[in-house]
Structure 1
Amino acid sequence: MTDEEMDRLVAGFLDCTLPKEEWTHSAHFAGALWLMLRRPHVQPERDMPGMIRRYNESVGGVNSDSSGYHETITQASLHMARRLLATLPADVTPAAAHAALMASPLGDKDWLFTYWTRDVLMASAARRAWVAPDLRALPA
């Protein structure tokens, strides 16, 4: 994904015009990294939950106990994205950061199951609020 493609993707996410089928695992991380690198006034841990909920609703989704926004996945993903960014040069571009992240274990959409059992992560409690990993702690 190029920087220009990330710009387009994030603009579509933010203005709720991104087609639903383009809001993929890769796109979620692209959006998070782009915001971290290009919008320092945005605090993704605080702001992305509302952004994701609004986007989900704009494409006909429902944010409920069984679908839509998932707090634990979002916060864990943001934590790991920040951790990866800390290992990259300060002047890294969003596209280069995204390529590095997608080449890491985080590129596998099932990476979370290294830290959580499926039952714990997929429970409505984890969707509504942060639930700590039950298999192993996230790296600091």
Structure 2
Amino acid sequence: MTDHAPRLFTSDAEIAHLGEGLLARTLTRAEWTHEAHLAATTYLLLKRPDIDLDKALPGIIRGFNESVGGVNSNTEGYHETITRAFLHGIRLFLLEADRDAPLHELVNELLMSPMGRRDWPLRFYSRERLFSVEARRSFVDPDLAALP
């Protein structure tokens, strides 16, 4: 497990920019970091109940990737299992989080939690399974431990 310190946010406006920018495909590729993925998803879960993320998130991310010149292939771009694992982790985090806190503080808490770590899915998946073409293309069940 890595000890990479996440980039934290200083305002709710930063989070809104990421969430709405993802939807509008106005973010730059450089803005689309691990932290931005989690911040945008948290924003969408909490502020955009009109969007069914279980259905829409794959297309949202694929479309964004293509809008910045990326490719969604067997080796790069959208990854279904990682996306689903982190969506599950964010929802798990939000079950016990103080939703009355400022959004950026909530996202920072998420980023500092186990569910916010880049390697969180590797608690449940072997590298071989998680980084397989099958896992990129469709959700695969964990092979090390069940998702909590």
Name the counterpart of 1:6: 15
User: Aligned partners of 1:83 and 1:97: how far apart in 2?
Assistant: 13
Name the counterpart of 2:63: 54
1:23 equivalent to 2:55? Answer: no
Name the counterpart of 1:96: 105
User: Aligned partners of 2:144 and 2:138: how far apart in 1?
Assistant: 18
1:65 equivalent to 2:74? Answer: yes
Alpha-carbon displacement from aligned partner over 1:58-87 (angstroms, at most 9, x marks no partner): 011111111110110111110110010010
Please report the RMSD computed on the Cα atoms of aligned residues, expressed in angstroms: 1.2
> Structure 1 residues 6, 69: closer, same or farther in 2, change over 3 A?
same
Secondary structure in structure 2 of the residue aligned to 1:101: helix
Cα pair 2:70 2:77 within 8 Å, conserved:
yes
Name the counterpart of 1:123: 132
Cα pair 1:30 1:94 within 8 Å, conserved:
no
Cα pair 2:75 2:133 within 8 Å, conserved:
yes
More deviation in 86-95 or 104-113? Answer: 86-95
TM-score between the two structures when normalised by the length of structure 2: 0.89
Alpha-carbon displacement from aligned partner over 1:78-128 (angstroms, at most 9, x marks no partner): 011001001013434421221111110233211111111111000000011
**Unaligned segments of structure 2, at least 5 residues:** 1-8
User: Aligned partners of 1:113 and 1:63: how far apart in 2?
Assistant: 22
2:142 to 130, 133, 139: 133
Cα pair 1:88 1:97 within 8 Å, conserved:
yes
**Unaligned segments of structure 1, at least 5 residues:** none
